[in-house]
A and B are shown apart, each in its own frame.
Chain A
Amino acid sequence: MNEKTALKRGLTREVVEEISREKGEPDWMLRLRLRALEIFQRLPMPKFGPDLSEVDLADISYYLRSVEPVASWDELPEEIRKTFDALGLPEAEKEALAGLGAQVDSEVVYRSILKDVRTQGVLFLPMEEAVREHPDLVREHFMRVIPPADNLFAALHGAVWSGGTFVWVPEGVKVEIPLQAYFRMQTQGVGQFEHTLIVAEPGSSVHYIEGCSAPRYTKVVLHSGMVEIVAKEGAHVRFTTIQNWSRNVYNLNNKRAVAHAGARVDWVSGSLGSKVTMLYPTTVLAGPGASTENLGFTFARDGQYLDVGARALHLAPNTSSRLVSRSVIQGDAKAVFRGKVYVAKNARGAKGHVECSTLLLSPQAKTETIPVLDAENDEVELAHEATVGRISKDHLFYLMSRGLTEQEALSLIVNGFVSPILKEIPLEYALELKRLLEISFEGAVG
């Protein structure tokens, strides 16, 4: 670890100024940080969801540059390189991606983009570089989709954000294969606050995938990233997250997109890791005909509390949303789904569909579904479905009567249950997820 780039614990004005200085930021960004800090100091903790009292904001390191950026995988420290190898990142980069960024602790350490994609004019940059080199593009949107005053963790993020990615897709450009970012929290006690901003100009399209992991430490640590997406007229943005943080991570994120006229934003979220998660990807349907699909798959195991959801805010006519969630809960874990569809007065002809199914794999598993359908005009079609169930003995017997072992049969049933989401996840991840689902099923059958 490089001592001079590790800051002392706790959140003060000095710490924020130091982060900004370390990054050589323009003045406007420093002012944005300090304003966010002020807001942070007067906002309360969230009044819903999991107990966050274990997160001691005064005892977190907010910035650590532990690894120097490199141009090739070989130059990374061995431990990190091995981790990325095991995750299959270098391979994915070669075979399936238009671009790849990898962040360790506070900074992006590796980034590449296909030449073809670069020559199309697509920008895929570490956030800091974009702030310095494309200030106008960044400044127009940065923390405008989610202002610091939105909630405590948005404000905190605004003050201490570090790392993350800026993606800009020029008008009409379609990026055919996905861009990917990978986030690794490597060092004990260091929080991660990466900022992702995607701006898709009219008629463009892009698929962005992020994955994350961390080694397990005993002490809890905070991850509070932010994703802001701007999909302009007729653009299509798809954002896939596979979250597999270790079980000491509090994963409290803000993700929001604005979809302008005729634009489409799709969220696909797989939540598997972390000790506690609060995640509610939101699409603001701001222009007529905008649409969103929000697919979530949550797998909560012993000791986890995953509080997730999806929101669609219909602010324009003829907008549509589809929020689908599948949760599998094992042991004494808890998973909550909050599905919110809001339709403004002028958003006539809006259509919203919320669907949430939960599979309980143990008698101690806890779940809650909290749908909010709120329409301020009558010319809307809103539907909501929720089911909670256990694995049926008869289904299990049926599969076993063909020779499948109990474990195989249970895996098949659980995989089948989540398949509406799984089939939307890129193949490499879907296989990984399938593997993660091969779990112990003690007491799973009802």
Chain B
Amino acid sequence: MRKLDLKGNLFPMAILETQDLHVSVEGKPILNGVELALEEGKVHALMGPNGSGKSTLAFALAGHPDYRITHGRILLAGEDITHLPPDQRAKRGLFLAFQYPPEVEGVKLREFMRLACGDQGHGFCEFQQLYPKAIKHLSMDELADRELNVGFSGGEKKRAELFQAWLLRPKVALLDEPDSGVDVDAFKVIARAIRELAAAGTAVLIITHYPRVLEHVPPARVFVLNEGRITQTGGPELARTIEVEGFKAVQR
């Protein structure tokens, strides 16, 4: 059932929604009731101190088997995906750009993306046509023929993650610190790609420590995660308050 506001208008429907999400890692509770709603075509930001559980939330949403959902639900386009394996979530349009993308030896980016496009089959990724475009757009020429993330610099890894998101055109893109360790030029490329994703309808969640990225990609909403719960929600001004005054200032 869709919610109505006080004036009786429909709330815009969230493409991704979590309800009272509790997540444990190795038996240790990390998230304690996260409520989050992401809207189509909008940029959202998730901020919070180190260790507050931002990456944990991202992994749990994407279905990492070590991140156990002990309570609550995840809805993607209204469908309960709480217990789906990661590939099933991806096929339904969920994408996670990793904070620390792993280096997979011997696997070529092209082959990987060809399989990914084939599997997603949600119609957005026309591999033959989009791949060369994406390579150019994200300045990936020199990285495309190398082994997947192997020996990539920190910034190159981030660019490669955004490249994949841009190519796969997901419904929801969770970007875990897409800006960390990225130089000025690469940053512009990444920021542009994020804006384009949102413009094409993707619901974007940027996890970040730096309001800089939010100036280039203005978020509709900023969430603050603290000790495993969303403690604040606001507009872009919330990011600036955090920058100036720290997380203490926005804690309840």
Contact = CB atoms under 8 A, between A and B. Distances in A.
A426 to B, nearest CB: 18
Interface in B81-108: 85-87, 89-91, 95-96, 98, 101-102, 104-107
B234 interface: no
Nearest to A407: B87
Nearest to A422: B106
A177 B168 CA distance: 41
Nearest to A408: B115
A430 to B, nearest CB: 13
Contacts of B91: 403
Given A408-B119, A412-B111, A401 B86 contact: yes
B147 interface: yes
A146 interface: no
A412 B116 CA distance: 12
Contacts of A405: 87, 119
A415 interface: yes
A394 interface: yes
Interface stretch (B63-71, B129-137, B220-228): B63-71
Nearest to B94: A401
A400 B59 CA distance: 12
A406 B96 CA distance: 17
Contact of A404 (B96, B102, B106, B115): B115
A418 interface: yes
A398 B101 contact: yes
B85 A406 contact: yes
A416 B87 contact: no
Nearest to A417: B106
Given A393-B65, A393-B66, A412-B107, A406 B102 contact: no
B120 interface: yes
B104 A402 contact: no
Given A400-B85, A403-B87, A392 B105 contact: no
A397 interface: yes
Contacts of B66: 393
Nearest to B165: A402
A132 interface: no
A413 interface: yes
Contact of B102 (A394, A400, A403): A394
A115 interface: no
B65 A399 contact: no
A416 B96 contact: no
Contacts of A394: 102
Most buried by B among A397, A404, A409, A412: A397
B106 A397 contact: no
A395 interface: yes
Task: Classify chain B's interface size.
Answer: 20 to 34
A416 B147 contact: yes
A425 B86 CA distance: 34
A211 to B, nearest CB: 24
A209 B114 CA distance: 31
A402 B96 CA distance: 8
Task: Classify chain A's interface size.
Answer: 20 to 34
Interface in A12-30: none
A420 interface: yes
Contacts of A413: 104, 107
Interface string A374-416: 0000000000000000001111011111111110110011011
A371 to B, nearest CB: 21
A399 B62 CA distance: 12
A416 B104 contact: yes
Nearest to B67: A397
A397 B64 contact: yes
Contacts of B113: 402
Contacts of B98: 398
Most buried by B among A401, A404, A418: A401
B164 interface: yes
B119 A416 contact: no
Contacts of B64: 397, 401
Contacts of B96: 401
Contact of A406 (B87, B89, B105, B111): B87
Contacts of A417: 105-106
A214 B8 CA distance: 76
B147 A403 contact: no
A419 B87 contact: no
A445 to B, nearest CB: 9
Nearest to A420: B106
A268 B90 CA distance: 39
A419 B116 contact: no
A392 B119 CA distance: 22
B62 A401 contact: yes
A240 B212 CA distance: 56
B86 A397 contact: yes
B69 to A, nearest CB: 15
The 7 lowest CB-CB distance pairs between A and B, nearest first, are: A416-B106, A419-B106, A403-B90, A403-B119, A416-B107, A402-B116, A400-B86
Given A402-B95, A402-B112, A402-B168, 20 more contacts: A395-B104, A397-B63, A397-B64, A400-B63, A400-B86, A400-B87, A401-B63, A401-B64, A401-B86, A401-B87, A402-B115, A403-B116, A404-B116, A408-B119, A412-B107, A415-B107, A416-B104, A417-B106, A419-B106, A420-B106
Interface of B: 62-66, 85-87, 89-91, 95-96, 98, 101-102, 104-107, 111-113, 115-116, 119-120, 147-148, 164, 168
12 contacts: A398-B98, A398-B102, A400-B87, A402-B120, A403-B119, A404-B87, A409-B87, A412-B104, A412-B111, A416-B148, A417-B105, A419-B106
